[in-house]
A and B are shown apart, each in its own frame.
Chain A
Amino acid sequence: MSPEKEPAFVRYLKTIKICMLILILCPVFLQWPEQAHATGGKEKRVPEIDFTKFSLEELKNVKITSASKTPEKLSKIPAAVFVITQEDIKRSGATSIPEVLRMAPGVQVARISATEWAVNIRGLNELYSNKLLVLIDGRSVYTNALSGVFWDVQDTVLEDIDRIEIIRGPGAALWGANAVNGVINIITKNASKTQGWQLTLLGGNQEGIFTARYGDIAGDDGFYRAYAKGFLRGRLFEGDRDIKNDPSKSDWQSGRGGFRFDFEPEDHISRVMVEGEAYANKFDTKDIRFFPAPPYFREDESASEAYGGHLITRWQYKLSDNSDAMIRFYYDFYSKDIGMGNVRAHTFDFDSQHRFVPFENHEILWGINARFISDKFAQTFDMEMDPQHKDQYFLSVFFQDRMRIIPDKLNLTIGSKFEYNRYTGMEIQPSLRMIWFPRENHALWGAISRAARVPSRIESDVEFNSQVPPSSGANAPVIVRYLGNNDLEAETLTAYELGYRIQPAENWWVNMTGFYHDYKDLIALELARPPFTEQSASDRWIVPFKYRNNKNGHSVGFEMAAYWEVMSFWKLKGAYTLLETNLENETAQPEDESVKLMVRRSNPHNQFSLISSVDISENIEFDLWFRYVDRLSEEDVGAYSTIDTRISWKPRPLMEISLVGQNLLEEKHSEFSSLKVERSFYLKLDWCF
């Protein structure tokens, strides 16, 4: 398939189509309150049943729905939220955090190499998506060094994750800068829920994982757990290792250990959490080294290493029935090799929040955050940072007022974050959100918000010399030089969102969201001046690029998530994403085609996921996961469909054996780069005692 240029009017047609869909659906929504009125106003759903009034025999006939497994209650949050539960993680068969995220609507996940994923929400996807904030137990794993997340080192015992909350759209009013396109919040279980031993052993044709966790009580009111996890992804994608410019990595080894301690005195007034972890990560890589004389390039095998750790303490205090406070402090350290270079960073973060109800129908949430980051880049022959070492601090205050304009009918949330940083000064990031319940189990919400992304260290301070092999015509080697820019402004987004949720019965719900994102001052590389010849040891042809706020852009999309419990033993979960992105140059100057080659990014226009979970019997589960991902037009990667399947058997309670097959439909497929993701299998034992 050859990419076709699309006339502008076709693009407008698509936008119009989305608007029309929203308009067509709107009158339907608007009719509901009238109906509700006709039936006598507010309907009371299932009343609270007092089971003490039942006799023993009657009780034996009551169908039980366990609280943890009941379908997600209709969320009252005026934002596009999706929650992945522990049960979802287990039944997906996924073995890493990015793979789990594939089930969420609006999230693009593509494997780039054995150790790299492109993960983004509502935007052009790339290796380090710079507008997506990721938090693990409140700790930001978004690195300011290059604005993005190192997905290869973000891991934990997947069985100990309680849930993953995915908030699409700007979360900046609460979370602050860089929560532009979305926030992914990974929350681990309270230590009281991970008591005793849990061992998991996983082995397959692509990976081996071992985890051990032990939890016990600590004193009268406390619980703890300690864990260790290691994995080996040794022979990943063997057949594709020799692809030029795509050094797929092998022999990936990772080990980590940590603990969590939760303390909650009987009075339930205060809660304390302490959590710590240390990890090391290593994989083989190929570095392409440059020499001034022919053949100019040599490939060197080397190891890419990363290690780090963190310590978090959190204290929650209940001041009264409708007022509480939270204070959190964390320290995080990492050292990571990037290409031939290395970056290490220490982060100290202090966060506090206070919620209270000053008068009826108003709930105020406000907080203060202070963050200090000290980083250091290693100098390499191709990358130089000026300065190599930098200390930065970020200060912010936010407040939010949740107003019940008409109790149980209409809520309005206004809030803003005021954030100061030394790159771009003060960033004001307000949001206005409204949710309306036309009748019970229906919610219509809308939001307008502004968010900002602060330039990364690389974008401000780098000088990177990328060597290009001389073409047959040229004599001198060509060097593409990237230059950082100290005068960059923050990238900003104004987002318009409209969503609808409906849960007509206990056993099914549908969430729909449409959005329009308007980006200003996007940072991109631009030819700084005409290419020139530089005289050093030998002549070099230099093509200098500089980071500039030179682009505007917009994206339009529609996201849908649906859940249907067909029978008590059979559940279906679906997600559909439509995303259309457009970038425009601020200046009339046309974009240099070579920039597109340097920064590889693209998103599929359509994505679809359907998960079927069947409990065949008390101890046998069978899951199927179908995914369709559209082609990447900018990357010339074709569309693919795939199926993962999982079958598990519990020979005895607390012991589970599962067999998982991944990417079964084809032998292999590309997702982002020329790397092909292959069909794989594994067997897993999960044993608690």
Chain B
Amino acid sequence: MTGVFSQTGSFFIMPRIIKSLNGTGIAFLALFLFLSLINISKASGQPVSGEEYKVKAGFIYHFTRFTTWPQSTFKAEDSPINLCIASTNTESDIIFALRDKTVKDRKIAVRKFRGKKDINKCQILFIASDDKKFVLKKLKTVKNKGILTIGEISGFIRMGGIINFFKKGDRLRFEVNPDAAEKAGIRFSSQLLMSAEIVRKGR
């Protein structure tokens, strides 16, 4: 078997690559190098970063703190707050870490939302999905049942959802629909409303 190798050596193929390029290729290559250099010089300090759903879990914990449900919702002073998750992705399972955190003497219980039969077992429903049909179906199931709905899809507020996450650059923001909250019998403290990006009237 004739192994034919270039005289230039096996590890140093760059010159050969360049030789095999025509004008367009060289232009592209030059562009690569140029852009890389610009960006190296731009390196900056790292802000705190975290996985999307871990950060969302932090937000949801605070939403729980700043929300008041109708009196009839809880049987006792220390009945748990049930956070239900309906999701079309597995990453959102991180939210289960909120299990056993406490908010004003109430423990947070986290469970998967499986449909109608769970309505009375949920005070919060987080719909972790960007699938519009899936979201609409869940929203319809829990409409006006005293459940705080949280979503992460554009148009969630218009669909009748109460709090919606959205991204601004690589930071998280949330919007609130006070009308829908009112219909569900839920009240928010001003701390929550002040941090919300847009307080949009439901249409």
Contacts and interface: CB of A to CB of B under 8 A. Distances in A.
A14 B5 contact: yes
B70 interface: no
Given A14-B10, A17-B11, A639 B24 contact: no
Given A62-B55, A193-B88, A196-B134, A582 B1 contact: yes
B89 A193 contact: yes
Contacts of A193: 88-90
Nearest to A606: B13
Contact of A608 (B3, B17, B50, B133): B17
Contacts of B112: 266
A64 B166 CA distance: 12
B11 A21 contact: yes
A51 interface: yes
A65 B52 contact: yes
Contacts of B158: none
A215 to B, nearest CB: 8
Contacts of A643: 24-25, 28
Contacts of A605: 3-6, 10
Contacts of A56: 59, 62, 191-192, 195
A10 interface: yes
A66 B94 CA distance: 12
A61 B172 CA distance: 8
B71 interface: no
Contacts of A54: 58
A122 to B, nearest CB: 15
Size bracket of the B interface? 35 or more
B36 to A, nearest CB: 6
A39 B50 CA distance: 26
A49 interface: yes
A6 B4 contact: yes
B16 A639 contact: yes
Given A49-B50, A633-B2, A665-B21, A64 B98 contact: no
Interface string B169-187: 0111100000000000000
Contacts of B88: 192-193, 195
Counting chain A CB atoms within 10 Å of each CB, the highest count among B57, B88, B94 belongs to B88
A64 B170 contact: yes
B78 interface: no
A343 to B, nearest CB: 30
A64 B55 contact: yes
Counting chain A CB atoms within 10 Å of each CB, the highest count among B4, B17, B47, B191 belongs to B4
Interface in B79-98: 88-91, 94, 98
Interface in B6-55: 6, 9-11, 13, 16-17, 20-22, 24-25, 28-29, 32, 35-36, 39-40, 42, 47-55
Interface string A186-197: 000010110111
Contacts of B62: 52, 55-56, 59
A67 B24 contact: no
B55 to A, nearest CB: 5
A529 B8 CA distance: 44
A572 B154 CA distance: 30
A64 B11 contact: no
B91 A11 contact: no
B157 to A, nearest CB: 14
Interface stretch (A163-171, A384-392, A562-570): A562-570
B24 to A, nearest CB: 6
Contacts of B28: 624, 626, 643
Given A4-B4, A628-B20, A606 B50 contact: no
Counting chain B CB atoms within 10 Å of each CB, the highest count among A5, A54, A64, A572 belongs to A64
B55 A654 contact: no
Contacts of A641: 17, 20-21, 25
A72 to B, nearest CB: 15
Interface in A185-241: 190, 192-193, 195-197, 217, 220-221
6 contacts: A51-B55, A52-B62, A60-B171, A62-B172, A572-B36, A605-B4
Interface of A: 3-6, 10-11, 14, 17, 21, 49, 51-57, 59-68, 70, 190, 192-193, 195-197, 217, 220-221, 266, 566-568, 570, 572, 578, 580-584, 605-606, 608, 610, 612, 624, 626, 628, 630-631, 633-634, 639-641, 643, 653-654, 664-666, 688-689
Closest 9 CB pairs of A and B: A51-B58, A633-B4, A63-B49, A56-B195, A52-B61, A67-B91, A66-B52, A195-B131, A64-B52
Interface of B: 1-6, 9-11, 13, 16-17, 20-22, 24-25, 28-29, 32, 35-36, 39-40, 42, 47-55, 57-59, 61-62, 88-91, 94, 98, 101, 112, 114-115, 129-134, 153-154, 167, 170-173, 191-192, 195
